A = this chain, B = another copy of it.
Amino acid sequence: MSDQNTTYEPLDVDTIPSRLGSIAAITKRLGTDASQWTAREVGDGNLNFVFIVTGPKGSVIVKQALPYVRLVGESWPLPLSRAFYEYHALTRQGLRDPQSVPEVFHFDEAQALIVMEYLTPHIILRYSLIGGNRHEGLGRRLGEFCARTLFRGSDLAMDAADRKADLALFAGNGALCDITENLVFSDPYFDAEMNRHTTPQLDRIVATLRADIDLKVEVQHLKAAFCANAETMLHGDLHTGSVMVAADEAIVIDPEFVTYGPMGFDIGMLISNFFMAYYAQPGHASKSDDRTAYQDWILEVTAEIHDVFTVEFSRLWREERTGILYPKSLYEDQGHAIASEQALGHRLNAIWRDCLGFAGIEMHRRILGLAHNADFETIENENLRAECEARALVLGRQLVINRGRLNSMAAVFDLAKFIGRENLL
């Protein structure tokens, strides 16, 4: 019997077979004899339960929202509806960029439960970057994902009424937006209660950042854009912990922070996490591998994400611009295709500027805020960790403040490398 429409109750490894054993979409993947199923809880995120459930025929992932923030506990309630929004985000992403996200087999709104494809032998990209692994085609896949989901979720492509309906739908996911609004855009920039940072090593640089008025103004401009500029359906939390990778495959997971927001947000958060992986490498070096070649590979992937994003977004602009914005009736149909190219250039520039700004903020919040990155956290030597973190903090400030004047990824890399050679503590 399905749990649909019954009172919410958290699953556990013992009750999963009885509670999910009669759902055809699941038995089809695991086998009908639920007594042979085994489940283990593997969630390492901040919010939810995640189970791998295995039966005679295969495995599935069962993700269930909890009515509070797992990282913090019951003192921080969080609505179960986030599973509803994640489900609707996953289905849209799957249509807009096929094979980019796990296939959804079953959704139960009352139980805040999504049953989806078990990805194996995939691991979380963040840990793979800590481990020094390379993945063929990673930058291409992520660049395409950003271009396709961001373009196809906007008024550039969608029917205007459909976009407004989705805007209204995802506006209901405010509790998750609230986390981003506070933890990403405000808390890192003052001495907020839930903050932490590597102390005392970073104290001086943190104090400098929090006294930086220009920075605090620009960050709030970017927050205003995040809150108001509802251009497209964002993943909303697209860091390297939201990507699962195998040798030559990358799958994007966990879009529960989905919201309508500015195009540059997802891609900015994503490349930010690559820059942090880059700066963290000295903390993961060994005698046999100083990780400098691997750092080069990380930057190559970062460049490829943005290059592919630009190429694919431009292709979609030329081939799929069927929405109400920059309509062909005004441009191509009037013999003014050059207007379309001119507008595309402007839009790409605007996305690039926003992208850099959001990237800078993401670095700050991962080092100064509540939710830190394993890239840095797994560096046990605190002095070494702080050195790595300090570089990311300084690059972050540069990206926010100078986002209007950094005209290419090459310029950003020059800056990142320069800062990488500095001893900032």
Contacts and interface: CB of A to CB of B under 8 A. Distances in A.
A403 to B, nearest CB: 14
A221 B346 contact: yes
A160 B224 CA distance: 12
Contact of A164 (B177, B221, B229): B177
A46 to B, nearest CB: 21
Interface string A217-254: 10011011001111100000000000000000000000
A266 interface: no
A145 B118 CA distance: 56
Nearest to A175: B161
Contact of A160 (B164, B178, B221, B339): B178
Interface string A154-196: 1100001100110111011010011001100010011000000
A336 interface: yes
B168 A171 contact: yes
Contacts of A221: 343, 346
Interface stretch (A120-128, A291-299, A321-329): A321-329
A216 B168 contact: no
A190 B165 CA distance: 29
A141 to B, nearest CB: 27
Given A171-B167, A216-B336, A339-B213, A224 B325 contact: yes
Contacts of A211: 336
Given A171-B167, A217-B343, A229 B228 contact: yes
Nearest to A338: B213
A220 B325 contact: yes
A71 interface: no
7 contacts: A155-B227, A168-B168, A182-B324, A186-B329, A223-B325, A228-B230, A228-B231
Q: Sorted from nearest, which 7 A-B pairs have the closest CB atoms?
A: A168-B171, A168-B168, A213-B339, A164-B174, A228-B231, A164-B171, A220-B326
